[in-house]
Amino acid sequence: MNEHRAPVSYADNGPANLADILERVLDKGVVIAGDIRINLLDIELLTIKLRLIVVSVDKAKEMGIDWWENDPALSSGARSNSHGTPRIRESDDERRELRERRELREEERRGEPR
């Protein structure tokens, strides 16, 4: 049928980066329970577990494996907006911004001549 017409690889950046591969092989693809039953639940939990071990494993920190923190399914900190573009700002920034805005308002109120 369509054989031999598959598009050629567009690998101008060398081998695919680990993040591209992990987000596909761990999180996508056909989910089938093999005979080794643990793997389904395990991989469901893996994304969460990796967030936890990232604290204790230097190698993980080097690799920066915490992109799962941005997973809307796992975190309320980075939900996509209605247009589907991921939100950028992090909740720490939001908290700091709110605090500083409040402080500025107070400073200005205090500085105003009566």
Partner 1 sequence: MKDMPQRYVYAYAVTRDCAAVAGALETVTGVAAEPVGGVRHLGLMALAGRVPAAEYDEGALSERLEDLPWLEGVARAHQRVVDAVTAAGPCVLPLRLATVFHDEAGVRAMLEDRGQQLRSALDRLDGRTEWGVKVYAPEPTAAPRPPAPRATTSGRDYLRRRAAERHAHQEGERRAGEAARGIHTTLAALAEETRLYPPQNPALSRHPGRNVLNAAYLVPWDSAPHFTSAVTGLAEHAPGDGLRVELTGPWAPYSFVTPDTP
Question: Does 31 interact with partner 1 (rule: CB under 8 A)?
Answer: yes
Q: Which is nearer to partner 1, 85 or 113 (CB)?
A: 85
Question: Does 114 interact with partner 1 (rule: CB under 8 A)?
Answer: no
What CA–CA distance (Å, rounded) separates 48 from 66? Answer: 9
Residue 25, both tokens: 């092989």
Question: Does 82 interact with partner 1 (rule: CB under 8 A)?
Answer: no
Give residues with Cβ within 8 angstroms of 17, minimum separation 6: none
Q: Using CB under 8 A, pick the residue from 89, 91, 95, 98 that binds partner 1.
A: 89
Residues 57, 62, 63, 66: is their CA dihedral positive or negative?
A: positive
The size of the interface with partner 1 (CB under 8 A), counted in residues, is 70
Choose among 83, 56, 50, 45: nearest CA to 68. 50
Q: Using CB under 8 A, pick the residue from 18, 48, 91, 98 that binds partner 1.
A: 18
DSSP, res 80:
B
Q: Is 94 helix (H, G, I), strand (E, B) or coil?
A: helix
The contact set with partner 1 (CB under 8 A) reads: 1-7, 9-11, 13, 15-26, 28-32, 34-39, 42-43, 46, 49-50, 53, 57, 59-60, 62-68, 70-72, 78, 80, 83-86, 88-89, 93, 97, 100-101, 103-104, 107-108, 111
